C-alpha cells in the first residue's frame, strides 16, 4: 500500500497543485491523506477548508481509492516558534494516517508538501529500492518559481 501524506493550507495555487500531484501519482497511490491544521503557520486560528468528500470532488476521477482528510487541532501557544507548530501539526496528521492505513511490512509512506510533486516512475523505483534494502528513500527536488 502506498499512502501519500500531504500537508495542506489551501492558499494560492494549492488546490491546483493537489490536482497535479494526484494526476501524476494516479494509479500508484492507494490512499491520499491530506493534513490541514486548525491554525496558520503564525498561530492564528483559521477555518477548515476541506473535507474528505471535498477532496474527492476536487480530484474527481483521479482520486485514489481511499481519501482521508485530517484536521489537526493544536491550540495556539504564545512563544511557540512557527516551525515547531508546523512540525507538530504534520506529525499529528502523519500519526493519524499510520493509525488508519498501516499494514505491517506492506506500507510505504510518501510525505511531502503539496508543491513537491515526484514523478510516478521515481516513486515506484524508490518503493522497490526501499523494499529490497529495508531502508528509507529520500527525494531531492530542485527549487523553481512557477506560475499557474
* Number of C-beta neighbours around residue 47 at 10 A: 6
The predicted model gives 117-146 an average pLDDT of 87
Q: Give 111-145 as a DSSP string.
A: E--TT----HHHHHHHHHHHHHHT-----------
Place 11 in a pLDDT band, splitting at 50, 70 and 90. low
- What is the reported pLDDT for 24? 93
Indicate the pLDDT class of residue 23, thresholds 50, 70 and 90. very high
**Rounded Cα distance, 81 and 86, in Å:** 9
125 pLDDT above the threshold of 90: yes
- Summary mean pLDDT of the chain: 85
Question: Higher pLDDT residue, 62 or 78?
Answer: 62
Indicate if the pLDDT at residue 74 is higher than 80.
no
The model's pTM? 0.82
> What's phi and psi for 19, nearest 5 deg?
-65, -45
3-state secondary structure of 148: coil
CA 142 to chain centre: 19
36-48: per-residue pLDDT in tens?
888 777 777 877 7
25 vs 23: CA distance, rounded Å:
6
Q: State the pLDDT at residue 20.
A: 92
Amino acid at each position: 500500500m502506498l499512502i501519500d501524506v500531504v500537508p495542506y493550507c489551501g492558499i494560492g495555487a494549492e488546490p491546483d497543485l493537489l490536482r497535479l500531484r494526484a494526476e501524476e501519482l494516479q494509479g500508484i497511490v492507494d490512499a491520499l491523506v491530506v493534513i490541514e491544521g486548525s491554525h496558520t503557520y503564525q498561530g492564528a486560528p483559521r477555518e477548515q477548508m476541506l473535507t474528505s468528500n471535498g477532496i474527492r470532488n476536487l480530484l474527481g476521477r483521479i482520486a485514489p481509492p481511499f481519501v482521508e482528510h485530517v484536521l489537526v487541532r493544536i491550540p495556539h501557544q504564545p512563544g511557540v516558534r512557527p516551525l515547531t507548530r508546523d512540525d507538530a501539526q504534520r506529525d499529528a496528521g502523519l500519526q493519524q494516517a499510520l493509525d488508519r492505513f498501516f499494514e505491517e511490512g506492506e506500507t510505504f509512506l510518501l510525505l511531502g508538501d503539496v508543491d513537491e510533486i515526484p514523478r510516478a516512475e521515481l516513486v515506484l523505483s524508490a518503493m522497490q529500492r526501499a523494499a529490497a534494502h529495508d531502508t528509507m528513500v529520500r527525494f531531492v527536488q530542485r527549487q523553481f518559481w512557477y506560475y499557474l
